[in-house]
Amino acid sequence: MPDELLDWFESQARDLPWRATREPWSILVAELMLQQTQVSRVTERWPRFLVRFPDPSVCAAAPVADVIDEWSGLGYNRRAVNLHRAATAITIEHDGRVPTDLGDLLALPGIGPYTARALRVFAFEIDDAVVDTNVARILARTLNRTLKPAEAQREADRRVPADDGWRWNQAMLDLGARHCSSKPVCVDCPLSEGCSWFASGCPDPDPAIGSASVSTKQSTFAGSDREGRGRLVRQLRSGPVAVGQVNDVLGWPNDPARCRRVLDRLVGDGLVAFDDDEVSLPAGP
C-alpha cells in the first residue's frame, strides 16, 4: 500500500533538520547521534557539532578528546570514537568523501548495516531499504510473524517504490515512531488494512517482540558499568585523573577488580589512555 503510506507522510512528516540536506557527512553525523538518543536532543546538538567538525577531514585532524567532548550528553561515547575513526578512514581512503558503495560503507569503523543503508538512501537517494527497530516492528506486524535479520531486510527491500526510496524510508521511520511503536496505535494507521496482525485482532504474543532489529529493554543504568564509565569520562573532560583516584571516580573504591575491568574496556574502546601516573582522554588524532 505505497500510495497510502506516502500520502500519509506528505501531511504527517516530522520536521527534522537533517531531512533538509543530502550532504553525506552531515547525515552520517545525524545517524550516529540518533542511535539511542532522543530526537529532540539530536536536533539541538547536531548543528553545533557540524560547526565544530564541518567535514571528515576536520574531524579526523582533531584530537579524539575534542570529539568526545563535543559528544557529551549524546549517549555512548564509544560512538564518538567510532565517528572519529570513520572520519579518518574517509579522509585517508576516500579522499575525504563519504563513499556510496555498501561494502565501502560497511568497512568504516562503527558503521553497521542500518547506518550504511541510511547513508545510501538519505544522502545519495539510492533505493535501498533501511531496517531499524521502528521499521522492523512494522514488518513483523504486517506479516504477523517474527523475522530473522536477512528476511526482514528482504521484506523491506521489496517494498521500496522505484525512484522514491528517500520518501518511502522516511515514511516508514515516521510511521514506526508514531503509530507502530512498542505500544501500537492502530487507529488511523495508513497500513492497517494490509496488516495481518491488526486483521487478526492484535493477539498476544506481539510478533514484533523478538523479531530482527527490534530493540529490547535495556538493563538498569544505576549501579551498572555504564554508569561508572560515564562518570570517569565526564571527569576526564575537565582534565587527567591520577591513577590512585580512578576507583573513586568510577564509584567502586572497594572493588578494584571491577574498576580495572571497566578501565581496560575503556582503553580498548579508545575512550581513555593511561600510564603509570594518570588517566586521560586520548590526546592524539
**Could you list the active site residues?**
31
**What is the DSSP secondary-structure string of 77-127?**
THHHHHHHHHHHHHHHHSTT-----HHHHHTSTT--HHHHHHHHHHTT---
With H, G, I as helix, E, B as strand and everything else as coil, classify residue 209: coil
Scan for cell 590512585, then name that residue: 244
Q: In the 8-state DSSP scheme, what is residue 241?
A: E
- How many Å apart are CA 161 and CA 180, to the nearest integer? 21
With H, G, I as helix, E, B as strand and everything else as coil, classify residue 191: coil
- How many Å apart are CA 30 and CA 47, to the nearest integer? 9
| Neighbour count for residue 2 (Cβ, 10 Å) | 15
* Contact by Cβ (8 Å): 117, 130: yes
